[in-house]
Structure 1
Amino acid sequence: MTDIDIAQGVEMLPIVNIANQLGVDADNLEQYGKYKAKLPLSLIDETAVKKSKLILVSAISPTPAGEGKTTVSIGLSQALNRINKKTTAVLREPSLGPVFGIKGGATGGGYSQVLPMEDINLHFTGDFSAIEKANNLLAALIDNNLQSKTRSLGIDPRTVEWKRVMDMNDRALRNVVLGLGGTTSGVPRETGFDITAASEVMAILCLATSFSDLKKRLGNIFVGFTYSGDAIYARDLNAEGAMAALLKDAIKPNLAQTIEGTPAIIHGGPFANIAQGTNSILATKMGMSLSDYVVTEAGFGFDLGAEKFIDIKCQYGNLSPDSIVLVATVRALKYHGEMDVKTLTTPDVNALKRGIPNLEKHIENMLKFCKNPVVAINKFPTDSDEEVACILDACERMGVKASAVDIWAKGGQGGLELAQMVVDTCEKNIDKVEPLYDWSWSVEKKIKTVASTFYGASAVDYTAQAKKDLKKIEKLGLSHLPICIAKTQKSLSDNPKLLGRPKDFVVTVRSIEISAGAGFVVPITGSIMRMPGLPATPAAEKIDITDDGSISGLF
């Protein structure tokens, strides 16, 4: 049975019933049909936030198909409710890029899904569309100013870094020339498209703490320089008000439900290999205001999403996880033991053991932040008992609690042991998690700290362009911002072919992009890019709809 078959066989509760579990009156909901709604920001209570327990779920370096981190997050939230802990799952909204690309749907799986899964995987409440429009409004204003003869700011088009976005994998749009067609069609210049989930507006929405903060961050977006060398920001184009107006509903977190009727808040969707990779600060605080426990996730491996969660999101939002869960799978460790991806379902303890160092490095990184982390082994039907035991033994050797969960097949029931471990660690971890670096350090020192401490790199190399970017960042007075390293998720290094736990490698920073509005700078490493391409066989080819409106293929 597929995920969509399971989801379609569940009778969902009206969204007012889900809200009632959280003590939210129906009058406070902005309903989008029967099963989804917006929550007003007035429900956020900072006093309640301080009392609630925040659980961060991350993962080891994944296979191309992912390791079920979202599935475990949902299953864990359901399990916590089963042991009478009032819990909300707070997750990101899927991007259409991965949905139609290599992974298909991203709303969990089996009996640990968020619903309505078709809506969440597709347009949901329109937040991504609003972010897209706000981003592209600024792009239009920039090109309009370049064309203007009376209100020109004198922007040098060669320095404009702002790109248009769309929520789709489309490699043909990475580099484009616009303004062709004569003098009435704009100023010709080179630019490109990014995917919406990798845009700065997405990052801004997820880090904003209020409407006023949203407008301030939008105004701080760096656009480029004038011919005389002066910096131009979005506020110089008077763009922030209209951009924020387009986001008036998108800033509000969305309420949905899991397959077991556990409340789920779905909001924002920044990529973790490029942006901060976690849901919005407002969504997290909303969940913590309305429940005693919140389970949230950070995208891709602990080296990406979790590091950024702690070093960026937690610092801006004044948050600190009370428990950290690391998702590991047999197939991922065999993949990092250099087993062919096509044969990962075949039992092979030796390949698994070769991949164990990847798990060990992620656990070491966890221990830098948290004294009592927990490992969740997401079981698949093809996993042998010997393989699962091998992972449990490795965790025991490192003094870390671990639990094998079967939440795909059993929902919350399959994660009860994990839930109790998490509750125990929440009670023990009373110290605030400290960041890996100080924001006041130089950009180079911050990059070196993350690359050497977290990735295991022996050195960091900078291209000529990256060195030029460092000087620009210093000129703009932005060296104090945190770093959000863009790196492949397939390896601890910046080279996707270096599996397991690579050593003695050099991280190459090829450029450093400025996200002054979001409040960080983005060192671009390896071959990472902001606009993915579709695979040879896109997941879109398997998605269909029947005459009665039933959708298939969103696995």
Structure 2
Amino acid sequence: MTTIKKKVLSDIEIAQQSTLLPIVDIAKKIGLTEDDVELYGKYKGKISFESIHKLKDHSEGKLILVTSINPTPAGEGKSTVTVGLGDALNRLNKETIIAMREPSLGPTMGIKGGATGGGYSQVLPMEDINLHFTGDIHAISTANNALAALVDNHIHQGNELNIDQRRVVWKRSIDMNDRSLRQIIVGLGGPVQGVPREDGFDISVASEIMAVLCLSQSIGELRKRLGQMVVAYNRIKQPVTVEDLGVEGALTLLLKDALKPNLVQTIEHSPALIHGGPFANIAHGCNSVMATKTALKLADYVVTESGFGADLGAEKFLNIKARAAGKSPDAVVLVATIRALKMHGGQSKEDLQIENLPALEKGLSNLKKHMETLEQFNVPFVIAINKFRADSDHEIHALIKWCENQNKKVSLTDVWAKGGEGGVDLAQKVLEEIEGNKKEFSPLYELSDSLQVKIETIAKKVYGASGVEYTVKARKQLEEFETRGWGVLPICMAKTQYSLSDDPAKLGRPENFTITIRELKPKIGAGFIVALTGEVMTMPGLPKKPAAFGMDVDEDGRAIGLF
């Protein structure tokens, strides 16, 4: 008898076969009316400022943060688990909203792909969300580049602020991985074309404007934060801000619609707010405070995520976003996959289909470190094993047994294949942790600590580093920033996502390593100081064979090759 194998559908095929409800119907599920939503077509909408203002006296629901181990090319499926958990909670009749980041075109066209979940745990319409969506990131790019043009124009038109053209720190941006734009020269071609100087591009999601938008809770706060951004230094080395230029109003005007949270839905019609998209390796890695706080006013439970592993996204969520939002997670989900743990244990990507218990056991050191990090923040958490088809029964049993021996709740989730149904056990265990584990959240450092203390606290307690080394430039900046009164700001570490160290090749749980701080960048509007470690770049490059090579569109306008 011949066995006919059932074809496994791709993420985009599953998404395109799904039925969407009009977004006004999703809005009604969470107590909003048609007038509360500004429509972007039939299936996307923005929640108006007026409707958000009406929610100010509503009580807030419980917040669940999803994070993971250090990512590998094998994939962890953090966004997939986030969506699946939200769907599962709704299946349990818990009014739940999912709050996630918007994908950047750079990784979508590069190697990572989109960021809308996968399988039967996706937010829709995935084609739109993974491409231009409602234009938020384009608005951020436009505002960023308008500011760059205004700075150069100011220098060209007489330079009233006495800006030192060698000390312009504001870069241009584009929402694409493009290594050729990291360092450029502008103003060539003679006096009419402007003043020549060195410049460069950041990817748009690393722009301070992205961080400012994601941490602002009103138009007024957005304008204030934009005005505080440092764009250059003058000839006596004093900072020049957007407010000094007098253009914070124009930038706010460009961003007024981008500040409104975007409402979409999952395959199972759970409401989802997808808004803001800073990377966690070079920015703070969390969706907007506006979306998270709005969701908390509209639902009993909100499931959100932070970028990359707990050493980056969760650390920044807990030390930066939680402070800005005035809300810490009621529970955390730590996602791990057997595939990724085996890679951390030394198994090659090509051999991941082969059972390898020794590699799995060795890779558990990475999971263990992230567990220890969450324990230091004093937050209750559940370990979610995101199931893949090639996982063997022996490997699954070994991982579950190890977690239980650590006295930690663990759940085998199968949300890629089964949607919310595959996350019900995880949802129940998360609810148990929220109700039964009343811990008092504690950030890792006080804002009154010096910048150096903050950096070394993160390096030692979160990464497991033995120490921190500073370049001469970084040491001078530490002194300068403290003198300027910026020492009270939190630290946003820019570090490779692949390793706990600043060397992407050191997988698992490296020991006896130092973190090198090569430069500090003041992000005063965002309200933090970026510390650049190792060789991490704020403008990524494309791989040898970008994902864009497999993308197309059919005659009906439907996307092909998105994942």
- TM-score normalised by structure 1 residue count: 0.98
Deviation (angstroms), 1:395: 1.1
1:283 aligns with 291
Structure 1 residue 223 displacement after superposition? 1.4
**Deviation for aligned residue 1:367:** 1.3
- State yes or no: 1:145 paired with 2:154: yes
The correspondence of residues 59-458 of structure 1 with structure 2, limited to 5 A, is: 59-64=68-73, 66-149=75-158, 152-458=160-466
- 1:468 shift after superposition: 2.0
* Matching of residue 5 in structure 1 with residue 42 in structure 2: no
Q: Which digits, 9 at most, give the CA deviation of each residue in 1:251-305, with x for residues without a partner?
A: 0000000000000000000000011101000000111111100000000000100
Q: Once the 2 structures are TM-superposed, how far is the Cα of residue 371 of structure 1 from its aligned partner?
A: 5.0
Moved more, 332-341 or 77-86: 332-341
- What displacement does 1:152 show? 2.2
Looking at structure 2, the residues matched to 204 and 432 of structure 1 have their Cα atoms a distance apart, in angstroms, of 28
Contact 2:186 2:198 survives alignment (8 Å): yes
- Structure 1 position 64, deviation (Å): 3.0
Partner Cα distance (1:387, 1:75) in 2: 23
| Partner SS state of residue 540, structure 1 | helix
Is the Cα contact below 8 Å between 1:65 and 1:103 reproduced in 2? no
In structure 1, distance between residues paired with 2:56 and 2:374: 27
In 1: Cα distance, 2:151 partner to 2:475 partner? 27
TM-score, normalisation: structure 2:
0.97
Q: Distance in 2 between matches of 1:409 and 1:6?
A: 10
Q: Residues 471-486 of structure 1 correspond to what in structure 2 (within 5 A)?
A: 471-486=479-494
Question: How far does the alpha carbon of each residue in 1:167-214 deviate from its partner, in whole angstroms, 9 at most, with x for none?
Answer: 000000000000001001111000100000111000000001111110
> CA offset at residue 432 of structure 1?
4.0
Answer yes or no: is the 8 Å Cα contact 1:54–1:294 preserved in 2: yes
Task: Determine helix, strand or coil for the equivalent of 2:518.
Answer: strand
CA shift at 1:398, angstroms?
A: 1.3
Q: Following TM superposition, by how much is the alpha carbon of 1:513 offset from its aligned partner in structure 2, in angstroms?
A: 0.8
Residue 350 of structure 1: CA displacement? 1.0
Give yes or no for the alignment of 1:58 onto 2:67: yes
- Asked if 1 retains the 8 angstrom alpha-carbon contact of 2:329 and 2:379, the reply is no
Matches of 1:299 and 1:468, distance apart in 2 = 30
- Percent of matched pairs sharing the same residue: 55
Q: Deviations over 1:428-472 (max 9, x none)?
A: 244442211001111000001010011100000001111122123
Q: CA deviation at 1:20?
A: 0.6
Distance in 1 (CA, whole Å) between partners of 2:523 and 2:73 is 28
* Cα contact 1:49–1:285 (8 A) shared by 2: no
Could you say which residue in structure 1 is the equivalent of 2:58? Answer: 48
Q: Which runs of 5+ in 2 are unaligned?
A: 1-8
AA matched with 2:457? T
Q: CA RMSD of the aligned region, Å?
A: 1.1
Q: Is the 8 A contact 1:160 1:223 kept in 2?
A: yes
Please state how far the C-alpha of 1:146 moved relative to its aligned partner.
0.8
CA contact (8 A) 2:124 2:266 kept: yes
Which amino acid letter does the alignment assign opposite residue 88 of structure 1?
A: I
- Cα offset for 1:47? 4.3
CA distance in structure 2 between the aligned counterparts of 1:371 and 1:296, rounded to whole angstroms = 15
Q: Is the contact between residue 501 and residue 513 of structure 2 (CA under 8 Å) also seen in structure 1?
A: yes
1:492 aligns with 2:503: no
CA contact (8 A) 1:320 1:432 kept: no
Q: What runs of 5+ residues in structure 1 fail to find an aligned partner?
A: none
Aligned length: 553
Q: Aligned partners of 1:46 and 1:492: how far apart in 2? A: 40
Instruction: Quote the Cα distance in structure 1 between the aligned partners of 2:451 and 2:75.
Output: 31
Structure 2 Cα separation of the partners of residues 377 and 365 of structure 1? 18
Deviation at 1:230, TM superposition (A): 2.5
Q: In structure 2, what is the Cα distance between the partners aligned to 1:449 and 1:228?
A: 33
Aligned-partner residue type, residue 62 of structure 2: K
Contact 1:197 1:269 in 2 (8 A): yes
CA-to-aligned-CA distance 1:325-348 (integer Å, 9 cap, x gap): 000000110110011122222221
Tell me, in whole angstroms, the C-alpha distance in 1 between the residues paired with 2:162 and 2:282. 31
- 3-state DSSP of counterpart to 1:352: helix
Distance 1:171 1:6 in 2: 34
SS at 2:491 equivalent: coil
Alignment partner, residue 4 of structure 2: none
Matched residue SS, 2:263: strand
